[in-house]
Amino acid sequence: MTCAPSLVDAHGRTIRYLRISVTDRCDLRCRYCMAESMTFLPRDRLLGLEEIAVIAERFVARGIDRIRLSGGEPLVRRDVGDLVRRLGRMVGHGLDELTMTTNATRLRLHAPALADAGIRRINVSLDSLDPGVFRHITRHGDVAQVLDGIAAAREAGLTVKINMVVLKGLNEDHVGDMLDWCGREGHDLSLIETMPMGAIDEDRTDRFVPLTHVFETLSARFALSRDTHRTGGPARYWRVGEHGNRLGLISPLTENFCGGCNRVRLTTEGKLYLCLGHDDHVDLKEALRTGGIAALDDALDRALPMKPAAHDFRIEAGSAPAVARHMSVTGG
Ligand code: SAM
Ligand code: SF4
């Protein structure tokens, strides 16, 4: 049997992790993520479910062993359950792990099916436990619905990690209470610096909080010890002595960990981006539609040398975002 060649970039990094944005649409409008009047792609430009599955299967044949479904909000795509079931069949057969990042508004409905399909862990975005602050950040979200979604996930046997983007003047003073709540509920917590991706209604600089500052404050309240857990992503981890859960810091602006990056990202339109912070990409939809698997393989081989050594994110007052596309297009 011939084995498809694995994906190694020009910097010697083996690519093992694929994020797929299954839709750029969302039922929320988080202020740091998108403008209130965000326009979405016309449906006829999106990859079909079968195309996503074929591309994902080819990635797995070429050595990808982790796939995360994201968006936009993945659970607003009507056929997402079918996709999860199809991709779930690869778990244990080339794929070590299938995961999802969700805002949890529809998790009560979907959690049992996600668990049945082979998903074991999900990330849920929750930027505040305070109903008013949560509503303000998401523009119209209901925190009770998210907490109910998280409860449903736990009932279905899923492990939940919470993602929190730290925002000056909005939720920066809630981080300690969030870490405490996560500890009591048995969730790990990842804190994220707001990244300059896509135009929003305000200047992100005004909301940017360096996680180094947040970490100092948390260290005064919690016994934090360094944890060596690494995922090939940009997070560094600490163990929280009081509860035993893990704290992750994703701080691409203040600390750059691109050297070990093993991930690539497929947009809902079929474009493969090699880095969150760069525009270089190849069009896998076009390749698949015109030349099938052989053309897909060629496109992947053309893409690899485009993976940059590091992103170019900088937060500077009044400057345009580093990349014009939103996180919801590339799948955060
Ligand atoms: N809708 C789902 C959710 O919110 O979990 C999945 C997609 S969302 C784009 C994925 C993650 O990216 C979320 O944790 C969100 O908070 C984060 N995110 C979105 N825009 C961001 C930005 N500009 N900077 C940093 N994180 C961002
Ligand atoms: Fe939607 Fe997630 Fe972006 Fe919030 S962060 S607007 S939930 S895609």
DSSP secondary structure, 214-228, as one string: HHHHHHHHS-EEEE-
Q: How far is the CA of 2 from the centre of ligand 2 (A)?
A: 41
Does 247 fall in a domain?
A: yes
Closest CA to 329 of 38, 24, 32, 46: 24
Please tell me the predicted confidence (pLDDT) of residue 2.
Answer: 45
Does 284 fall in a domain?
A: yes
Query: Which of 71-108 are b and which e, b meaning 16 or more Cβ less than 10 Å from the residue's Cβ?
Result: bbbbbbbeebbebbebbbebbeeebeebbbbbbbbbbb
Does 12 fall in a domain?
A: no
Q: What's the whole-model pTM score?
A: 0.94
The phi and psi torsions of 30 (rounded to 5 degrees) equal: -55, 135
Residues with CB under 6 A from ligand 1: 26, 32-33, 70-71, 73, 101-103, 125, 163, 165, 192, 194-195, 197, 327-328, 332
Does 221 fall in a domain?
A: yes
Ligand 2 atom nearest residue 105's Cα: 7
Please tell me the predicted confidence (pLDDT) of residue 198.
Answer: 76
Please tell me the predicted confidence (pLDDT) of residue 313.
Answer: 62
Does 311 fall in a domain?
A: yes
The per-residue pLDDT string of the chain (332 residues; one tens digit each, 9 = 90 and over) reads 447 889 998 888 899 999 999 999 999 999 999 989 899 999 999 999 999 999 999 999 999 999 999 999 999 999 999 999 999 999 999 999 999 999 999 999 999 999 999 999 999 999 999 999 999 999 999 999 999 999 999 999 999 999 999 999 999 999 999 999 999 999 999 999 988 777 777 877 888 899 999 999 999 999 999 998 766 567 889 999 999 999 999 887 766 667 778 899 999 999 999 887 787 899 999 999 999 999 999 999 999 888 877 666 665 656 666 667 777 777 66
Question: Probe ligand 2: pick from 34, 38, 39, max atoms within 8 Å of CB?
Answer: 34
Does 9 fall in a domain?
A: no
Does 46 fall in a domain?
A: yes
Please tell me the predicted confidence (pLDDT) of residue 132.
Answer: 98
Q: How far is the CA of 21 from the centre of ligand 1 (A)?
A: 11
Q: How far is the CA of 87 from the centre of ligand 1 (A)?
A: 22
Q: Give the count of domains, the chain.
A: 1
Contact 168, 296 (CB under 8 A): no
Containing structural domain, residue 195: 17-330
Please tell me the predicted confidence (pLDDT) of residue 1.
Answer: 40
Closest CA to 73 of 114, 21, 113: 21
Does 194 fall in a domain?
A: yes
C-beta atoms surrounding 185 within 10 Å: 16
CATH of the domain at 323: 3.20.20.70
Please tell me the predicted confidence (pLDDT) of residue 261.
Answer: 83
- Tell me how far apart the alpha carbons of residues 88 and 114 are, in angstroms, rounded to a whole number: 9
Question: Probe ligand 2: pick from 25, 27, 33, 330, max atoms within 8 Å of CB?
Answer: 33
In the chain, the N- to C-terminal Cα span, in Å, equals 36
- Tell me how far apart the alpha carbons of residues 125 and 129 are, in angstroms, rounded to a whole number: 11
